[in-house]
Structure 1
Amino acid sequence: MELSVISLDGKSAGKVTLSEDVFGLEPRADILHRMVRYQQLKKMAGTHDVKNRAEIRGTTKKFVRQKGSGGARHGNRKVPIFRGGGRAFGPTPRSHAIELPKKVRALALKHALSSKAKSGDLVILDKAEAKEAKTAQLKKTFGELGWDNALIIGGSELDQNFALAARNIGHIDVLPSQGINVYDILRRTKLVLTKDALESLEARFS
């Protein structure tokens, strides 16, 4: 698969050949769904907590006699049916993360890249660099290129001016090559890979 390389000013900067093993697969929704679910569950804090009966502070003295009151036979006021009592079967801190084999995670990334290539939403950029950290100027450039909703993947180190200028633009994400992930690829319309990012990806899967 061959794609044209463009520069930020919209001019042609040559061509690159993409690996069929990475960008030429038939996307599978089930694998992508498993990976997105894996990422979202791993990201959950799991810090929600309530006090159960054992954690409520209060006396355990029996407040009503066992027989003859005409009511239920209660032991203390920390039970869930009373106001201020403990919560029954409430949430406790835990990890929501699920297991997913490393090979499936790698395959999911290939399928996400292939889905963008198949839909024509994959763009190869010569360099993601800016002379000045000017948001307005970069936003105008993106508008001319038609990137109103895009994920831009740079090399192992991002150009500081470019990253600073892009971070305040809505629906634009900029990540280094090692930060590429399935969820961010799928949530943006365009996927923009620099030549450095492309080399890094193909070396990763070789």
Structure 2
Amino acid sequence: MPKLDVLNVSGEKIGDIDLHPGIFGIEVNEYVLHDVVKNYLANQRQGTQSAKTRAEVRGGGKKPFRQKGTGRARQGTTRAPHYVGGGVAFAPKPRDYSYKLPKRVKRLALFSALSAKVAAGEMIVLDELAMDAPKTKDMVKILSNIKAEKKSLIVLQDVSENVVRSSNNIQGVETTFVGSLNVYDILNHDNFVITKKALERIEEVYA
């Protein structure tokens, strides 16, 4: 059973916690991780790109020169794709790139991402993370104390406006909540910082 130290905001160990082996100790499935990250990025696409085809650009109604006798290749319009001002061949049009994956696949990917963080020693458990006022300097000090100065994802159980506002101006630091946790954010950050209550909430929901 995986076990991690529990730290306070000063970076001192105040205990340890046993992690659920079915969530934080499974064999990492890289294929599923790739599948879910690709799905997440596809779902973020706006799909608003658009270009005109030769049928949609203005002009080109007149034949540029006669069919025979010029020695040149025959042309019917100046709005063909190889002309300047012509349409685009296979022009992109607005479309929806999103698609769905089975719940079991997404769950397995989440467990794989969490297990990967534990195996790599990149998961940090805090006893609690509460701030009386939004102060970026205090958050920087906390992250320094727990050795999470690089790109870090902070996971809370509930919305804490002071913590969120304190983290907003720190480059590479992002705050999220248990209900909004996703595989892409976990893998996209070097450190996974989570409070003890948020950890217990994850185990309660998925165990």
What is the match of residue 166 of structure 1?
A: 167
Larger CA deviation: 28-37 vs 172-181 = 28-37
- Give yes or no for contact 1:128–1:159 (8 Å, CA) kept in 2: no
SS of alignment partner, residue 191 of structure 1 = strand
SS of alignment partner, residue 54 of structure 1 = coil
Post-superposition CA distance 1:82-138 (Å, at most 9, x none): 211111123222233344222111100000001111122212112221112111122
Q: Report how far residue 16 of structure 1 moved.
A: 2.7
- Give yes or no for contact 2:9–2:145 (8 Å, CA) kept in 1: no
Identity %: 36
Q: Report how far residue 165 of structure 1 moved.
A: 0.7
What is the match of residue 55 of structure 1?
A: 56
TM-score (norm 1): 0.90
Equivalent residues, number? 205
- Give yes or no for contact 1:125–1:192 (8 Å, CA) kept in 2: yes
What is the match of residue 142 of structure 1?
A: 143
2:156 counterpart letter in structure 1: G
Q: Which runs of 5+ in 2 are unaligned?
A: none
What is the match of residue 90 of structure 1?
A: 91
1:197 counterpart letter in structure 2: A
What is the match of residue 200 of structure 2?
A: 199
Matched, 1:45 2:46: yes
SS of alignment partner, residue 174 of structure 2 = strand
- In 1, the alpha carbon distance for the partners of 2:177 and 2:134 equals 17
- In 1, the alpha carbon distance for the partners of 2:82 and 2:90 equals 13
Post-superposition CA distance 1:16-39 (Å, at most 9, x none): 321111011011222212221221
- In 2, the alpha carbon distance for the partners of 1:2 and 1:140 equals 26
Post-superposition CA distance 1:135-180 (Å, at most 9, x none): 112212211221112211001x321111101111122111111111
- Give yes or no for contact 2:164–2:175 (8 Å, CA) kept in 1: yes
> What are the residue-to-residue correspondences of 1:101-116 with 2, within 5 Å?
101-116=102-117
- In 1, the alpha carbon distance for the partners of 2:133 and 2:190 equals 26
Runs of 4+ in 1 over 6 A off after TM superposition: none
Q: Which of 151, 154, 168 is the aligned partner of 1:152?
A: 154
Quick one: structure 1 residues 62 and 126, their matched pair in 2 at CA, closer, same or farther if it must change by over 3 Å?
A: same
What is the match of residue 34 of structure 1?
A: 35
Post-superposition CA distance 1:169-192 (Å, at most 9, x none): 122111111111111111212111
Q: Report how far residue 11 of structure 1 moved.
A: 3.6
CA RMSD of aligned residues (A): 1.8
Larger CA deviation: 52-61 vs 17-26 = 52-61
Q: Which runs of 5+ in 1 are unaligned?
A: none
- Give yes or no for contact 2:67–2:75 (8 Å, CA) kept in 1: yes
- In 2, the alpha carbon distance for the partners of 1:16 and 1:144 equals 20
- Give yes or no for contact 1:51–1:87 (8 Å, CA) kept in 2: yes
